[in-house]
Amino acid sequence: MTKTAWVFPGQGSQAAGMGMDLLDLPEGKARFDQANAILGWSVVEICQSEEDKLSRTLYTQPCLYVVETILADWLKECGHQPDFVAGHSLGEYAALYTAGVFSFDDGLRLIKRRAELMDSASDGMMAALLGFDRDQLAEQLQQTPDAVLANDNNAGQVVISGTPAAVEAIIGSVKAKKAVKLNVSGAFHSPLMATAAAAFQKELDTVPFSTAQVPVLSNVDPTPATDAQVLKDRLNRQMTGTVRWREISLRMPEEGIERVIEVGPGKVLTGIIKRTSPNLILENIGSLADLPPAS
């Protein structure tokens, strides 16, 4: 049997119209209705709205979680099961749900609060660097206390986060093929999110976590874990910690994983993983049409 990991994308993978084919499934429609009752707004309406509205953190995060969990549940209905799961930033919540760590409702309540807190974070800036010198970046980050490595995606793509002055200083001092300032409300995955993380922890403390049914590779610690308290602690640190996706991509072949299925809209993670672990078989499940036949 081929060892398979399911991975779930985060913000940046959303697209207008995503998940609308899932309304053809009775289970999908029921899940959308369930989400509306928790959120107080319609996921279907937001997914069909203008791109700028869907891309607002407040809406993006719950919408992606709902679409990704419906796809994961339907994959299981078709007889497929992962051997490992992982999710990029927001995607870690869909991964934990898929591993049976918490219920759909509890996960969505966490996402709702996370999205509210992150949407209201007004301090800070984030920027993506592509084609850069990693040693030079590490040196500059060491010399710039108000900027950190937020997303270590692969050898040629990272995101830095921090105060606007610090991020601008890094962009100005590190040679890169491309530097792109991200359209986000705050310095996500940095110490500047400490206040939001403390507020989020109160919500997290109310949610019971169960032992994962399959190992989870977490953003802040890419070693496989199933222990409920370990997974909760890792999730608690995620808002201020680095997304260590390059290490997750390296870890998967070490664990004997041969195949990776990206569950959710787009192919962002597929492209990122390919650069780090080119021998993995990479597949995408972004819609009903992509679902493999029942096994």
> pLDDT over 70 for what percent of the chain?
99
Q: Is 201 in the same domain as 277?
A: yes
User: Over 90: is that where the pLDDT of 242 sits?
Assistant: yes
Overall domain count for the chain: 2
The whole domain housing 32 covers 4-120+190-290
Of the residues 13, 161, 189, 218, only one is catalytic, namely 189
User: Over 80: is that where the pLDDT of 288 sits?
Assistant: yes
Kindly state whether residue 295 falls inside one of the protein's structural domains.
Answer: no
Which residue is associated with the tokens 């029942």? 294
Q: Is 139 in the same domain as 22?
A: no
Of the residues 13, 89, 161, 218, only one is catalytic, namely 89
Question: Dmax over Cα atoms in the chain, in whole Å?
Answer: 55
Does residue 189 carry a catalytic annotation?
yes
Q: Is 76 in the same domain as 130?
A: no
Tell me which of 123 and 139 has the higher pLDDT.
139
For residue 256, what are its two tokens?
């004997």
Q: Is 142 in the same domain as 255?
A: no
What pLDDT is recorded for position 294? Answer: 63
Q: Is 82 in the same domain as 219?
A: yes
Q: Is 206 in the same domain as 93?
A: yes
What pLDDT is recorded for position 86? Answer: 98
User: Over 70: is that where the pLDDT of 282 sits?
Assistant: yes
User: Over 90: is that where the pLDDT of 186 sits?
Assistant: no
Give the number of other CB atoms < 10 A from CB of residue 24. Answer: 9
Our CA angle for 248, 252, 254, nearest 5°, is: 115
pTM: predicted TM-score of the whole model, two decimal places: 0.96
- Identify whether the C-beta of residue 152 lies closer than 8 Å to the C-beta of residue 158: yes
Q: Chain-wide mean pLDDT for the chain?
A: 94
Give the pairing of strands 147-154 and 157-162: antiparallel
Q: Which long-range contacts (CB under 8 A, 24 or more apart) does 251-256 make?
A: 251/217, 251/222, 251/223, 251/224, 252/5, 252/84, 252/217, 252/277, 252/280, 253/277, 253/279, 253/280, 255/3, 255/84, 255/215, 255/224, 256/3
User: Over 90: is that where the pLDDT of 1 sits?
Assistant: no
Element at 284 (helix H, strand E): strand 281-285
What's 80's domain CATH number? 3.40.366.10
Task: Spell out a b/e string for 236-256, using b for 16 or more CB atoms within 10 Å of the CB, else e.
Answer: bbbbbbbbbbbbbbebbeeee
**What angle in degrees, to the nearest 10, is found between the helix axes of 57-77 and 104-119?**
160
What mean pLDDT is predicted for residues 214-230? 98
Does residue 80 carry a catalytic annotation?
no
Q: Is the dihedral of CA 206, 190, 253, 157 positive or negative?
A: positive
What's 145's domain CATH number? 3.30.70.250
User: Over 80: is that where the pLDDT of 289 sits?
Assistant: yes
User: Over 90: is that where the pLDDT of 183 sits?
Assistant: no
Distance CA 39, CA 69 (A): 16
Of 181, 205, 223, the residue at which a domain comes to its end is 181
Of 135, 176, 182, 177, the closest CA to residue 162 belongs to: 182
